[in-house]
Each structure stands twice: as structure tokens, then as C-alpha cells.
Amino acid sequence: MPLISIKLIIILLLSTLYLHADEYVVVSNRHIKTLSLAEIKAIYLKKLSYTEDTKLLPINLSLRDKIRKSFEKNVLQMNLIRLNAYWTKQHYLGHRPPLTMKSQEAVKKLIKKVDGAIGYINIDSLDDDLLIIYQWSDK
């Protein structure tokens, strides 16, 4: 096989991978209308507890979940070491990290039941009952 053909195949494979990057969304029920990226970060770091008259409940996925890792990197813009240090300090101030759920389905169920709950899921898991607040991808 000529070298040009091999290069072309590699380029096509890499572009296919790029086009199929995972897409994720931060979602809520219909009681939270809009939040900025800075507000989402503040909610997950427990620096913002209310929006208008609604108490906020941030929900994380389990620590080893790839969506959580992407969320921490792309939305919170913090690595695991920095985040652990942050929550260790917050613990001594009496603050607890966000609630953790085992699956995207559990996150969606809680968001639908509790006003002010927000979480993040793969866009392929999105239901019509959920409102997209923020979207990102791993590219």
C-alpha cells in the first residue's frame, strides 16, 4: 500500500474520532432558567446556594466516572488533587461537597423530583423533562 494511502486512512480515522467526541450537558428541571459557567462552578464549589428563591442542590457522578472527570476538567477547571485540597479545607469550615449519585439515571430522577437540583450527564441520556444549562465536549 502506498505511503499516501496509509496517511489518508490515518487522517480519516483521526477525523472520525474527533467528530464523535463525547458531548455532555449540565441540566436542571424547568425551575432554573439560566446559569453562567461561573455560576455553575460556584454552585459545585458550594459558594452559591440560591438562585432567585430556589435552593440549589448540585449533584456529582461517582468519583471514577469519566463524565465527572470531564466536568471537573472542563467546567470546574480543577484537577483531582486541587479539588481534594479544596474540599479538605471546606470540611474544616463545615462545608460538604455536592451529593454523589452512582448513575446518570439516578441524577436525572433526582433532578426531576427536586426543584433546584442540577447535575451533568451525557447528551445522549438527555430527556425532554430536563433543561440544558451548559454544554461541553471532550475534543
pLDDT by residue for the chain (139 residues), tens only, comes to 565 666 555 555 554 444 457 999 999 998 787 889 999 999 999 999 998 888 999 999 999 999 999 999 999 999 999 999 999 999 999 999 999 999 999 999 999 999 999 999 999 999 999 999 999 998 7
> Whole-model pTM?
0.83
d(C-alpha 57, C-alpha 48), whole Å: 10
Beta bridge partners of 28: 118, 131
Q: What span, in angstroms and rounded, lies between the C-alpha atoms of 16 and 74?
A: 22
For 89, the 3-state DSSP assignment is helix
Is residue 124 included in any domain, yes or no?
Answer: yes
Q: How many domains does the chain have?
A: 1
Long-range contacts of 30-33 (CB under 8 A, 24+ apart): 30/129, 30/131, 31/115, 31/116, 32/56, 32/116, 32/118, 32/131, 32/133, 33/131
Domain contains 12: no
Q: Which domain holds residue 120?
A: 22-137
Check which CATH number belongs to the domain holding 126 and give it: 3.40.190.10
